Structure 1
Amino acid sequence: MHHFLILGGDPRQLYLSRLLEQAGQEVSLYYENPSFSLGEAMEDSDIILCPVPFSKDKKNIHAENQLKDMDINTFLSRLTSAHTLFGGSIPLSVTEYCKAHDIPCIDFMKMEEVACKNAVATAEGAVAEAISLSPMNLRGSSCLITGCGRCAEALADTLTGMGAHVALAGRDAKKLARAWCHGYGAVPLAQLDSHIHGYSFIFNTIPSMVLDAGLAALMDRDTVVIDIASAPGGVDLEACNAHGIRARFCPGLPGKYSPMSSARILYEALCSRI
């Protein structure tokens, strides 16, 4: 039997704790008003489950609740080779530290089964956010997705299933060709300024500035923009708002809209590695 420490994060951590306890594992949950210190919990645990994403500011371990001792450097100073560390989108500085100190470190988001299933949860959350912002139906609407990765593919499939007309924009000609073969519109990212007008919904999945002030000025005023890229995102939200465009940065959608399902994805991946 292992002793798990579940640290920070969002409601996914609560459901993950429940699944592990139901499996008969010993679990310490450092989530909201814990009755123990992080240092004590780390001493008593051999497997540490950090959140997805591991950090949003590269300084502290991500936690929706106000928690003490979440500084990454302090956390690393307490890690030993007796620990096994899990987390999502773990910063390079953390993985390098673990490698230098012989600490097993597994990134959930580098596991194909997690990344693909997480993309589906993210797509459903993005659709929910879009519906909440827009005065229009998704069915019959024109949707643009910037990026051609897992989240973009899952989102394109979800939107198409809801009756929307979908185009993908990206830099990779091969991926755009594949998008076209699947029945989607295909727009080279360099030509986005000629195509940005006319979409009711725009979803960004690229974690660098893509939808800048210049493109915001060309969008329809009733367009809804949902940025689901990793921090810092890829949408100039201030420029969109200045033009009256509804725009929202939406990190952590699986934890917000499907924490139970998302926790089970992590649990199954965890079981396959232990």
Structure 2
Amino acid sequence: MLTGLNVAVFGGDARQLEVIRKLTELDAKLYLIGFDQLDHGFTGANKVKIDEVQFQELDAIILPIPGTDLNGMIYTVFSNEEIKLTEDLLKNTPSHCVVYSGISNSYLDNMVQSSNRKLVQLFERDDVAIYNSIPTVEGTIMMVIQHTDITIHGSTIAVLGLGRVGMSVARALSALGAKVKVGARDLAHLARITEMGLTPFSLENIQDEVKDIDVCINTIPHMIITEKVLSNMPAHTLIVDLASKPGGTDFRFAEKRGIKALLAPSLPGIVAPKTAGQIIANVLTQLLSELLIEGKGSSS
């Protein structure tokens, strides 16, 4: 149980609803910021404006998966209100208060560092990322089916990167009968690709490897599908970029070449928000239980 824990949940999408549901069931006291248009009511959760929150009482702050933008603004689908988390607000929290976010950026990093607070990036955890790769794979398959006029079976697909998402995507597409080649730089990753029964290639040779592909799935969060790479792709190639914004594709040049390129960094929240939210809620429950026992207890 999380009785006695005061938590502020900021904005976000439908995944946050599963977090709210789980935490209220465990008797945490929640302040919901950016949920004024939410019809559903949760016992023990209060919808409030950000200036109504008693920050000095908070044990934890839960941000949406994207965290904040570079100006501190927080996105929410449940409100038209502009919500901004500032350093001054964070400094008003108790010293043991922990900030939880899916990912971070320079603004959020600097703010928690200046406030001397702890930031936990949930998507840096292997358990969250691996579980989250399941709805990501299903969403990727959905997008490939929707945006091509060929079957996955028999198509030639390049997957860029063999991280937690890349591995799951490559395995699933191969199981559906695609001819999958996977690009990586790490020699251990290239060995793993071979062990999986897939075709490995070094990313240094990406320009040559994309000449015959029907679909390209990118999981690398920096510019990898450049103008030179795009120039070597067949015009019918579909690119699905799963990397966090702004992705790893030159979308401007892709459009110029007539290549369909889709940025899809938050597929779990789109195709399976309930499951994706439950994954996050389960991990947060564990982390908040530890905070209740260790962090809050040691500061009192």
Same fold by TM-score, threshold 0.5 exceeded?
Answer: yes
Aligned partners of 2:73 and 2:274: how far apart in 1? 21
**Alpha-carbon distance, 1:174 to partner:** 1.9
1:227 equivalent in alignment to 2:241: yes
Letter in 1 for 2:225: L
Within the candidate set 87, 91, 95, 2:105 is matched to: 91
What is the aligned partner in structure 2 of residue 58 from structure 1?
A: 70
The one-character-per-residue Cα deviations of 1:92-123 (angstroms, maximum 9, x if unpaired) are 55345435544233221222211211222222
What is the aligned partner in structure 2 of residue 190 from structure 1?
A: 204
Partner SS for 2:232: coil
Aligned partners of 1:253 and 1:78: how far apart in 2? 35
Aligned partners of 1:49 and 1:131: how far apart in 2? 35
Aligned partners of 1:267 and 1:245: how far apart in 2? 38
Do the aligned residues in 2 keep the contact of 1:227 with 1:233 (CA within 8 Å)?
yes
What is the aligned partner in structure 2 of residue 32 from structure 1?
A: 35
Distance 1:137 1:73, change over 3 A: farther
Distance 1:127 1:62, change over 3 A: farther
Q: CA RMSD for the aligned pairs? A: 2.2
Letter in 2 for 1:37: K
For residues 57-206 of structure 1, the aligned pairs below 5 Å read 57-65=69-77, 66-73=80-87, 75-91=89-105, 94-95=108-109, 97-99=111-113, 101-206=115-220
Aligned partners of 1:163 and 1:72: how far apart in 2? 50
Within the candidate set 2, 5, 10, 1:7 is matched to: 10
1:47 equivalent in alignment to 2:64: no
Partner SS for 1:27: strand
The one-character-per-residue Cα deviations of 1:140-168 (angstroms, maximum 9, x if unpaired) are 21110111111100111221222222111
Q: How many residues of Structure 1 are paired with residues of Structure 2 in the alignment? A: 273
Distance 1:172 1:205, change over 3 A: same
Do the aligned residues in 2 keep the contact of 1:223 with 1:246 (CA within 8 Å)?
yes
Is there any run of 5+ residues in structure 2 with no aligned partner, and where? 38-46, 290-300
Distance 1:254 1:78, change over 3 A: farther
The one-character-per-residue Cα deviations of 1:177-218 (angstroms, maximum 9, x if unpaired) are 210111111111111111111111101111111111121121
Do the aligned residues in 1 keep the contact of 2:73 with 2:83 (CA within 8 Å)?
no
Do the aligned residues in 2 keep the contact of 1:167 with 1:187 (CA within 8 Å)?
yes
Aligned partners of 1:132 and 1:75: how far apart in 2? 44
**Alpha-carbon distance, 1:270 to partner:** 1.3
1:213 equivalent in alignment to 2:216: no
Distance 1:201 1:147, change over 3 A: same
Distance 1:139 1:97, change over 3 A: same
Aligned partners of 2:182 and 2:72: how far apart in 1? 34
Partner SS for 1:269: helix
Distance 1:173 1:103, change over 3 A: same
Do the aligned residues in 2 keep the contact of 1:69 with 1:75 (CA within 8 Å)?
no
Partner SS for 2:48: coil
Partner SS for 2:84: coil
Aligned partners of 2:89 and 2:165: how far apart in 1? 31
Distance 1:167 1:42, change over 3 A: farther
For residues 242-261 of structure 1, the aligned pairs below 5 Å read 242-261=256-275
Residues 31-40 or 146-155, more deviating: 31-40
**Alpha-carbon distance, 1:32 to partner:** 3.5
